[in-house]
Copies of this chain bind each other. A is one copy, B any other.
Amino acid sequence: MKLICPKSELLKSVNIVMKAVPGKTTMPILECILIDASANEIRFTSNDMELGIETIVDGTIEEKGIIALDAKIFSEIVRKLPDNNVTITTDEKLNTLITCEKAKFNIPGKSGEDFSYLPFIEKNDCVRISQFTLKEIIRQTIFSIAANENNKLMTGELFQIENNMLRVVSLDGHRISIRKIALKEECADKKVVVPGKTLNEISKILSGEMEDMVEIYLAENHILFEFDNTKVVSRLIEGDYFKIDQMLSSDYETKVKINKREFLDCIDRATLLVKEGDKKPIIIHIEDGSMELRIDSQIGSMKEDIDIEKEGKDILIGFNPKFLIDALKVIDDEEVCIYLMNPKAPCFIRDEEEQYIYLILPVNFNAVSR
């Protein structure tokens, strides 16, 4: 095999496929990037058996062939080469020579025989959204998946298509995050649970541009994302996702309109009195025109007032400050509305059109001990 590719193009492609190279594995071939130039295109593929990525690389094929190269070493070599054309040549013993200007690297390769190519996904029902939107949806929900694997379904996100709306849901038992997007094209109803890891990795590859589109295909056991010259295929998480609709009441006793930045900065200040792992709630006292935030810990105490617009009853309620911070951080609105029922019921942060809904359970606290 002999290929010539610009270093910049190699670097871009290597960075994309690296996202599906496993850290440690019992199958050494998976730690490789497969370079397939057996047809008329150069393709890089990586696959950790849950997530697989394939991307087409611009370059010239001088001699067709296939080689699998250790992903870590190959990516580091590419990264450090001068910014010029790179020639990759393999011999019959799979020794690979990588040259660029006067630099010559020699590394051993592997035949691609044992490599797992991406599974074939039938392309029915395409969901087309911009890369910007997909990246935003992921950023705005991914923080509330569960970190531990006790409940596999909680480590993924629900992608649900219903009435030409895409709804993305994540939850961890203490909170629920929901984002809704109207789809421009007709789409059959469907429901799948996508692993959080897949979404984290894909969001690093997406350009984030409004004009760049991504096509999403939902199959029985896989989800396929196609964009630019890249295909990302992931397994889905099996099982029925949690029924959340019954938890989403739109009743409320108190409605608060608050400047998001002020609210976030204030909670942020309060949390510096809370040591990691300590479960001190932030106590919020809502009255006409003003919200008092207060935290007491072994380190010290903090109190601050924020101007608000309020409808309905006064309320005294406690929250894990981290949950409020996580939600507020990903909301782009300057002002947010918070809906509360009583000190034991969840609060909702949501916009008018319910494009986003963040449900957060309150924390019990001893009101007397204030």
- Chain A contact residues, CB within 8 Å of chain B: 73, 76-77, 80-82, 102-108, 265-266, 268-269, 272-273, 299-306
Contacts and interface: CB of A to CB of B under 8 A. Distances in A.
B301 A82 contact: no
Contacts of A104: 302-304
B105 A300 contact: yes
B304 A272 contact: no
Kindly name the residue among A103, A107, A306 whose own CB sees the greatest number of chain B CB atoms within 10 A.
Answer: A103
Contacts of A73: 272-273, 299-300
A102 B263 CA distance: 12
Nearest to A76: B272
A103 B272 contact: no
Nearest to A104: B303
Nearest to A305: B102
A326 to B, nearest CB: 17
Which A-B residue pairs are the 8 nearest by beta carbons? A107-B300, A76-B272, A106-B301, A80-B269, A103-B304, A104-B303, A102-B305, A105-B302
B80 A300 contact: no
Contacts of A303: 103-104, 106
A80 B268 contact: yes
Contacts of A301: 105-106
Contacts of A76: 272
A300 B108 contact: yes
A80 B306 contact: no
Contacts of A103: 266, 269, 302-304
A136 B104 CA distance: 35
A324 to B, nearest CB: 16
A240 B5 CA distance: 58
Contacts of A305: 102
